[in-house]
Amino acid sequence: MQERRLVARNRNFRALLVSSTSGVLGNAVAAVALPIIAAVELQASNFEVAALAGMTFLPWLVLGLLIGVWVDRLPRKPVMMAALVVRVLVLGLLPIGYWLGFLSTPLLFVVAFVAGIASVFFQLADAALVQQAVTPDELMEGNGLITGTGAAADAAGRAMAGWLTTFAGASNTLLVQLTASIVSLLAVQRLDVEEVVQPPAKRPILREMADGLRYTFSTAPLRALLLNAALWNLGGNIAASLLVLLVLRTLGESEVWLGLLLAAASVGGAVGGVTANALGERIGSGPLWRWSMVPGVLGYASLLVLSPGWGMLWGLLGMFVMGASVSWNIVVGSSFRQRVCPPGMMGRLGAASRTVSWGMLALASLLAGLLAESIGIREAILVGVVIACSAPLVALLGPLRGVTRLEDLVEAPAPVGQEHIPKPSS
């Protein structure tokens, strides 16, 4: 199989794959455990539970551009290792706080925010190294494999966390996340990539941040990818942030069902990741990207018809479909950005695009909390689904509606140190 050949022949890709997969497993456990700590162990309000989901993404909104400049100026491997160490230390405070009796909602929010800052550093450096660890023609294959195995690890982590929080407690479950971060750290240590780092800059850091934003909005394809992701994250994460409250408080089901729903999305993501390259070659990366979010909206809409008992099965099916859709969209979009972007600009491009698109995840969580308090949990999820519908409309009616292969839009990157900001295209 093509995926096996890539893993077998590329030692650095293997290390990045192990690091990414281990990190996703740990993050999946934390994603389930943190809101359950708030909802069950600390009896936080509906607003606090929903808003907590956005704390790990808030650093993208407030610090992403600045961190992107730093990542372009620094060797990426040490950045990734330092970020993983910080995550281990700060998340370790929660089980210790639970054992010693100082666990609180403010501490939970602070830990989530600091862990989110570490994730910004790690993910921007990781994306830059993937670009340098494989050839341009291997990007779809490599990103598909990383997305697929990551989604499988996400499914395993969420399902395991749903079970563990029931029997061992949510705070104790975070020990799995700490172990996974250590495995990821060991994998990163094995990397041996001759990194392309931006030469020492004499320009003000604010100007370099502006370059990242300008590059992100400079061409029609990049703008379309960004708007699609931003709208999807805003609407979809309103629904996702309320899933804990919907299952535990509205439906009165257990943490096990919550873990299964989240795992179903991740299993779908695994299927989407490993099939993205083949589908892109068969029907074209353009049509795959444009139509990917249509079934995704229907997947989130399944949450509106959930009921206790067998009625939860609709959610399992819907979350599976949603996960596959998101993976197709991510693989195509990420591969295009990595193809078009010069290595010395990669950190700033990733930071600028995620500041906008992932910043929406933070805003969506805050909005979800306000909506849940004011109009109700199910009604707030409906608002999220309606907003999410705008994402496929942007793809289907926007400037990329007639493009069969996004790869054909890519220009050769400029030499390092001579990157230019491409002229806007219509």
268 alpha carbon, distance to own chain's centre = 15
413: in domain? no
Q: Which amino acid is at 169?
A: G
Q: Determine the Cα–Cα distance for residues 123 and 112; give it in Å rounded to an integer.
A: 16
pTM for the structure as a whole: 0.69
Least confident of 19-23, 74-78, 310-314, 420-424: 420-424
Confidence at residue 18, expressed as pLDDT on a 0 to 100 scale: 85
pLDDT at position 419 over 50:
no
Residue closest to 43 by CA, chosen among 104, 94, 96:
104
Please give the structure tokens belonging to residue 91: 């998340």
What is the per-residue DSSP string for 9-74?
Answer: H-HHHHHHHHHHHHHHHHHHHHHHHHHHIIIIIS---HHHHHHHHHHTTHHHHHHHHHHHHHHHHS
| Element counts in the chain: helices (H) and strands (E) | 20, 0
Least confident of 4-8, 37-41, 225-229, 305-309: 4-8
At 87, which CATH number?
Answer: 1.20.1250.20
412: in domain? no
Averaged pLDDT for residues 382-399: 91
197: in domain? no
Q: What is the DSSP letter of 86?
A: H
Domain count for the chain: 1
416: in domain? no
Confidence at residue 410, expressed as pLDDT on a 0 to 100 scale: 61
Please give the structure tokens belonging to residue 225: 């990818």
pLDDT at position 114 over 90:
yes
pLDDT at position 318 over 90:
yes
Residue found under tokens 């570490």: 118
The pLDDT tens digits of the residues spanning 12-68 come to 778 888 888 888 888 888 888 888 898 888 888 888 888 887 888 888 888 887 887
231: in domain? yes
Q: Determine the Cα–Cα distance for residues 108 and 103; give it in Å rounded to an integer.
A: 8
Instruction: Label residue 304 by pLDDT band (50, 70, 90).
Output: very high
Dihedral class, residue 117 (left if φ above 0, else alpha if ψ from -120 to 50, else beta): alpha
Confidence at residue 414, expressed as pLDDT on a 0 to 100 scale: 41
418: in domain? no
Phi, psi for residue 250 in degrees, rounded to 5: -75, -50
Mean pLDDT of the chain: 82
Q: Which domain holds residue 240?
A: 2-191+202-407
420: in domain? no
250: in domain? yes
